[in-house]
Each structure stands twice: as structure tokens, then as C-alpha cells.
Structure 1
Amino acid sequence: MHHLRYSGLAFDEQRAAFLGIVAADPLLNETLARVRDLALPDWLVVSGALYNSVWNHLTGKPPGYGIKDVDLFYFDDADLSYEAEDAVIRTAARHFDGLTLPVEVRNQARVHLWYPEKFGQDCPKYRNASESISFFASKTHAVGVRFDDGGELDLVAPFGLDDIFSFRITPNRAMDNRRTHEAKGARARECWPEISVVPW
């Protein structure tokens, strides 16, 4: 049960362990450095690339195992047009060329405009990049990092980190995301059989 060595610890201890693992991961390290250079407003690297890297570290798997891409959020409500976001996405594609993992860039100020058509339900109008992750289908996945003004890694984790360190995927019922919770849980278990999925 060595992979559970941080489970149940105080948040400050878990935060230090989490940021230490992220900072030491070679793929994340290079990606975060490039993201910082891109200098998007209110940016946040979120979700899978982070908690998957922690699970890889704790189970002895190589960096990048089971990770499809890196999700990069930013928040810019100055221009909510598709064209403005698309221009950022195209600039980012050139900026991240050569990275091991693809980087998916999304403006969180626009999510409420396309979400209903894609997912069949309304979505809140977010006020910043951090707020959006509190509506993820699973609390476990609601985690993000960025560099603060002093160049230190900063953590956003509205539900804490114990689910990640306990290898437990817990539903977040802020929205009706049962299918996403179950699908992501099943996929995660294929890569990390140590995981348990809490039913919706």
C-alpha cells in the first residue's frame, strides 16, 4: 500500500507532496515552463496531466503513462467570439510544437456559450479560470496549477487532494455529469487498477 502513503495526511502536507511531484515530472516541467512563456491571462494547467502524473509517480509508472494531453485553461472575457479563441489556440499550437504531449487550450469565459449544444444542459457563466474546475464531473479531477507572481507553483484544489492521494474518484454533483464521471472512472481504472470509483 506504498502508493497510499500520502492518503489522509493534512492538506498542507499533501499540497507540498503534490507540487513536489508535479515540479519533478519532466513532461510537466517543460510544459509548465512553455505555458508561462505564452503568458495567457488567468491561465491554469488542469486535470488529467496533473493527477495522472501523481498516480504514475506513486505506482512507479513512467512519466506520461496514461496521459492523453495537457488541458490549459485561460480566462479572457474581453472578446467572446469563436474567432478570438481560435486565434489563441492556433498561436498556442505553434508555441507548444515539439512537446511530448498535445496541449488543449480553452477560454473559460466562453464555455457557457457552447456547452449547452455540446452536452445538452446549461453551464454557469464562469468568473475566472479557477471557478470552472469546481464544476468538473469528479471532485478528484478538480485540480490546477500555475506559477504565482514570485515564480512559485501555485495550486488550485477546491475539494482538496485526499481523493487523488487515496486513488479514489469521487462524484461532483454540481452538474448532471454522471456519464462523464463513470466514463473517466472506467478509463482510469484500466491504467491504474489501484483506483476505486465512488458511484454517482
Structure 2
Amino acid sequence: MTPAASIAALLRADALRWHLLGVVAGLHLRDGWIAAGFVRNAVWDHLHDRAPRAPDGDVDVIYHDPDDATAERDRDLERQLAQLAPGIDWSVKNQARMHLRNGDAPYRSSVHAMVNWPETATAIAARRIDGEVCEIAAPLQVDDLLGLVLCPGPDFREDKRAIFEQRVASKRWLERWPQLVVRDA
């Protein structure tokens, strides 16, 4: 089984995460995924021999639709998701406009946007296809995620290094998952 297939199997075995992936799939978003901590935390919990648990914090839904890149569309989608799956803190962001916030060149897709994220282990996403298939996108690979390594993404190794360090400290990842190791690239 490939590393991506093992992550997909882990998500499929988690009833709540599998359900939430189906809820997002039902919106039929262009290039839509659930990303970041939704996948990362499930993997880290599994590697720390913890049972599956509800996502803590927000559930990051990303998509790439240059035809309607308004923040209002994101808020509308968050309201729809809150009705479909109450009790989940949904955060929806169209990656077709996120380059403006981040000071980057325009992103060509959701996966291209993830290349610019602060940590390699966070640059991962999942989606359900045809109801039964779990597709994994990991443009910065899954080695760090599966190896319990916190490493800054390419854009956060020098000029934006302080942002990476602040995230590691504020999110208390090293306390929550004590087997994690911080490494440079």
C-alpha cells in the first residue's frame, strides 16, 4: 500500500471524517478538498496510537474557482456546510484569491496553493470521488507527515521563518503530539 493509500484508508475508517468528506463532495466545488489539520491531525493521532476523534479547530475546505473568487461566496458555502453538518467549525477559502493575502503569484489550482503553505505536513488534502474513492493530494509529499516531522514549507524557510515558528508555538503541536520533531528542510 502506498503512503497516500494508507492515509486514504485511515480517513475512510474514521466515520466522521469520511462523512464530512462526503458532505463537501456533495457541494461539487471546483477543485474542492478538505485540507490541512483535518488530514494532518488524523494521521498524527493514529501515529500516536490514539483513537479517531472529531476534528478540533476549524475544518479547512479549499477549492479553486477563478470565476467567483469573492469572500462572500466562501461565507455562503460555510453557511451551507453548517446546515449540512452542524457543530463543525467550517472554514472555506477559494484558493483563486488567496495569493493576494499571501503576496504570491496567482495559484493555478488548490494543489498549487498548498505548495505555498507554512508546513510540509500541513500541505495535504483529501476528497471523495464517486462516493467511495478517497483521493489524497500532497504536493510537498507525505514523508514528513508520516515521519512525524515538522518542517517549514519552501516559502517559510527563510523570509517567512518567523511565521512557521509562531505557528508551531501557538498551536502547541509539540505538546499535543510529543513524538513530533522540528527540522529544517
Superposition TM-score tier, normalisation by shorter sequence: 0.7 to 0.9
Match of 1:194 in 2: 179
Sequence identity (%): 29
For residue 108 of structure 1, the aligned residue among 95, 106, 118 is 95
Q: Flag structure 2 segments of 5+ consecutive residues without an equivalent.
A: none
* Aligned-partner Cα distance in 1 for 2:131–2:53: 28
For residue 90 of structure 1, the aligned residue among 68, 75, 79 is 79
For residue 180 of structure 1, the aligned residue among 140, 143, 163 is 163
Q: C-alpha displacement at 1:157, in angstroms?
A: 0.8
Q: Flag structure 1 segments of 5+ consecutive residues without an equivalent.
A: 1-11, 117-121
Q: Give the SS at the match of 2:79.
A: helix
* Aligned-partner Cα distance in 1 for 2:42–2:98: 26
| TM-score with structure 1 setting the length | 0.80
8 Å CA contact retained: 1:139, 1:159: yes
* Aligned-partner Cα distance in 1 for 2:154–2:2: 27
Q: How does 1:47-62 map to 2 (within 5 A)?
A: 47-62=36-51
* Aligned-partner Cα distance in 2 for 1:126–1:196: 30
Q: How does 1:1-200 map to 2 (within 5 A)?
A: 13-64=2-53, 67-98=56-87, 101-113=88-100, 115=101, 122-149=103-130, 151-175=132-156, 176-186=159-169, 187-199=172-184
Q: C-alpha displacement at 1:54, in angstroms?
A: 1.1
Q: C-alpha displacement at 1:35, in angstroms?
A: 1.0
Q: Give the SS at the match of 1:147.
A: strand
Q: Which amino acid aligns with 2:178?
A: P
* Aligned-partner Cα distance in 2 for 1:87–1:66: 22
Q: C-alpha displacement at 1:126, in angstroms?
A: 1.0
Superposed CA offset, 1:109-164 (max 9, x none): 12133x15xxxxx1221111111111111112111111235741111111221111
* Aligned-partner Cα distance in 1 for 2:129–2:123: 19
8 Å CA contact retained: 1:92, 1:105: no
8 Å CA contact retained: 2:22, 2:128: no
Q: C-alpha displacement at 1:171, in angstroms?
A: 1.3
Q: C-alpha displacement at 1:73, in angstroms?
A: 0.3
Q: Give the SS at the match of 1:155.
A: strand
8 Å CA contact retained: 1:139, 1:172: yes
Q: C-alpha displacement at 1:65, in angstroms?
A: 6.8
| TM-score with structure 2 setting the length | 0.86
Match of 1:4 in 2: none
| Distance verdict in 2 for CA 1:86–1:70, change over 3 Å | closer
> What is the aligned residue count?
181
The structure whose Rg is larger is 1
* Aligned-partner Cα distance in 2 for 1:171–1:159: 11
Aligned-CA RMSD value: 2.2
* Aligned-partner Cα distance in 2 for 1:13–1:112: 31
